[in-house]
Amino acid sequence: MVKLKFIFVGKTKEPWIAEGIKHYEKMLSKFAEQEFITVKDEKVTEHSSERIVLKKEGERVLKSLDKNSFSLVLDSKGRMLSTEELAELFKEKMNQGYNDFIFVTGSALGLSSEVINSANFRLSLSKMTFPHQLVRLILLEQIYRAFSIIEGRKYHK
């Protein structure tokens, strides 16, 4: 069975987003095992160095990555895929022997270059900017939609 691991930097604070994530977690359970890891985000103050904050958060993320999994990071400079293309990416990687996928979403500041460079794939959801917590929900919904396509279900239409 496919395993999906989600690494989120910082807690999901908005109850309605957390509820949506739980909804898609349940929906995705038909297609894949899932693991959710929340790594601590750094408190950002007016005296914080963005580079140091990202480095500390990145060190925590890197500890949770598995080198045998196919890792995807959410990055505004990443490649944009249609839902159908995401489904194709999953199928292609599963045909290459990958059954474990890791998705990493950063904090409000994004992800460190070390985390981005360690990934197998850089994914962008849009040219638009979304709140980092909302990205989690959008990502889960799109993964559910992609697996629906793979399974030949009607949801994706």
- Tens digits of residue pLDDT in 20-74: 999 999 999 999 999 999 999 998 888 889 999 999 999 999 999 998 999 999 9
Q: Is the pLDDT of residue 151 over 80?
A: yes
The DSSP element (H or E) to which 73 belongs, if any, is strand 70-80
Report d(CA 145, CA 157) in Å as an integer: 9
Over residues 66-95, the pLDDT tens digits come to: 989 999 999 999 999 999 999 999 999 999
Q: Which residues contact 46 (CB under 8 A, 6 or more apart)?
A: none
Over residues 128-143, the pLDDT tens digits come to: 999 999 999 999 999 9
Q: What is the pTM of this model?
A: 0.94
Can you give the residue ranges of every domain in the chain?
A: 2-150
Q: How confident is the model at residue 157 (pLDDT cuts 50, 70, 90)?
A: low
Going by the DSSP 8-state scheme, the letter that residue 107 receives in this structure is B
Report d(CA 89, CA 85) in Å as an integer: 6
CATH 2.160.20.60: does it fit domain 2-150? no
Mean pLDDT of 90-113: 96
- Residue 42 has a CB neighbour count (10 Å cut-off) of 18
